[in-house]
Structure 1
């Protein structure tokens, strides 16, 4: 069984309470009269949501709030409220894992830092900019702006925000493979939260500290110390949910030490808490972890029972991605135990479910691209509106000045007044005609621009869809055939008797029907190079391992981090770490984007 325990870095705080729905948010907006107050409400509501969401409903709610805020910001010239709307758009892009687009909104926020003199607001803006760089793995710029935010918080004497910034820097150090620096940052944050007796924060940060030590050679003892401390403070805190992550991490250490009884107690406790809180992501993770402990103890029936019970749980229904994780764990268990019959059954369910998930994710990506298009269109309309207001104010100013001069000369030159009045009327008519002409030209240009953008978006969507379907089919064939080959080998080793000969023959027929393509990576690689010639040749001198070359191939085929994690059978956090190491071997600067570089090969 290839699943292993790993350090869960950020504690999973979950609750039975759902996030506000779009209907509830709209009802609250209807009660608020001021546009700026509405933007503030939307911004504060969005803070309740995690940056990375799993359910389609929650993602759509964030997009709904972001578009509302952008629309409301049209009516204000305040840098503060325009920033709040942009930060909501940035959060929306992060929830859909469009990290490059999130970074672009961070750069727009950066422009507003020059327009405000409020150091508190500037610090918040720099923190938002740093967030965009964090999710796009641009660590150089992330640290630059996060430290700018930190220095401002320090100058303002805001100890709580200083501690929060140090905590964020510590987490980032984990992804840059600098755990020693991370320990220093987390320790500074811990000092503050211990001084104010915030047990929940101390529990959370002690778990982070334990995870950092787990990533260091020889850090097991320190990791165990901090994870036990995290559990101790979580029991003193306000929520038992903070217990689960350090319990799961500590269980991983105990498995390595063959302390299976202690490991079982910890994972079962975490599993129970996740179940009661209806947090199915954690429930699935801990179920797989529990099955791994049983597998290490050679208790295969108990391992299978845990996974099958999790699969039957009513709360798993409607969450195909979680079911896929359980199918994968069962597949690995059956492969290890040589149960070919059940493995074929699980494989067929896995194939059908993965196809349906892929189609749903593709539709979701198209929907989000439309949200981006609508948002950019709205921003362009704001610019056109501001230009029109500026032109109108200029015309009014000229007309007013002409009127004042005419009144001042009335008592001296009555004849001159008549001439001036006629001239003013002619100018006004000329200005009105000019304004009509300008409006018509702007409308024509805007319509042409929107048409061109729509055509470009349609072509881009079609190209990405074709490329995604090609690469998804290729990678899926590889995964399916490797597994089928393994099952075929297992069947050959099964002792055939008259009783089970018919059953073995049926299994073999099922495998042959599913093996429609070549079943090894070399042939898949040839197919890939037919689409992307010389790709691997250009990377052959970089010192990348076979595993890292496959990672690069998935990036070239435009898989997102979650899909790559599934294909490589690793955690999403490990994808970020792997990308950082690939960038080092390729000699890329921190600010260079790895997907852009791979896409140019």
Structure 2
């Protein structure tokens, strides 16, 4: 009784602390369950991979920071590590990003997450590319990413990776290879039917690669396409396109056209500078807004700390009062607890004693079963000996009867011998001995199949004793096939199907 009450008191204290925690934390965030948290991570991962929105990534990482759940699933932890890696990649913390991608890949390998492995290969390629390290190694990562994305038929990621491979081939001055990757990029763009981002720049890359290969006319065709798919406010890309136009016209000796294009390049660059300055100003304003928001958050935190202190003090006082009450209650019920412990100890001893007795009964049962098996073997050994003696006597009597010159004395001996080997007496004796081991066996058998002959009953005893056909044949001096025929006939008389077990039925009697 005291234990139950104690548990209730402890439960009440736990609720007090929980309410306190929810009161403080709940002012800044809503409480979500672990299941909801895991769903957010999974959906967030796939949404980010499709949209690649930096603000969305920040939202997901904020949820990860605020919810300190212990997650055991490798499939979830691998995605958390990957998202953290991407965040560090965007912040140009390349070493930290690489470490997170490696840890994420180890878990993705365990869960065989093909899509995630492809994303990690692609991201690691970007890391090494930003480090200006071995570009051949970078290409290998991108190719592994493509293999993974093809397995899961992810068109969007394939487009992005072929875009990266195109740039990588340009850095390696593999112009033909770069054009090939660009063509694959456009095949997937056509298949997608919706995506247009990166199209203008890809046409520029192909044009530039053709120009490097001295395929100037092919370069011109792609330049026109690049110009068509480039927005008028994208002054940076337009400066690259116009610069390549100028080089094309220079190669053709059309210097006036080249100069005109170079002027356009200057205009594009001026616009780019203005645009960059505007972005810097907007970034500065954004930073000021963030700083203001940070100060507001700090003010809220200070207020929350004050509230937490008040609630903590009240909780502590309640806890002390309830603890004193609980100690008093425990002291009053100490004797009851001791009695319960004593009873538990006695119960354990009783259970142990019953277990010992049960083990003894099991041993005795095993011993009895062993003796029964020995008795069955002894019985059939005896039957075998009697059968052997009968056969010998039968042979002697047959010899006497076939001997026409046999004396009257031998004939009288022959009659006495025949009286010794009465089949009926032998069978009755056998039944008595057999039913000592299996009481009422023959009556039960007759109830199931009343039309069984004496010979059938004998064969049933052979089957119960688990004698094989060959062993029975040797015992009664017939062929094994004859034994099988008899057993088949018995099954028919007992109404059993071919696949039914005669042995199982007889043993169960």
TM-score, L = length of structure 2: 0.41
Bigger relative CO (Cα 8 Å, ≥ 6 apart): 1
Larger-gyration structure (1/2)? 2
TM-score, L = length of structure 1: 0.36
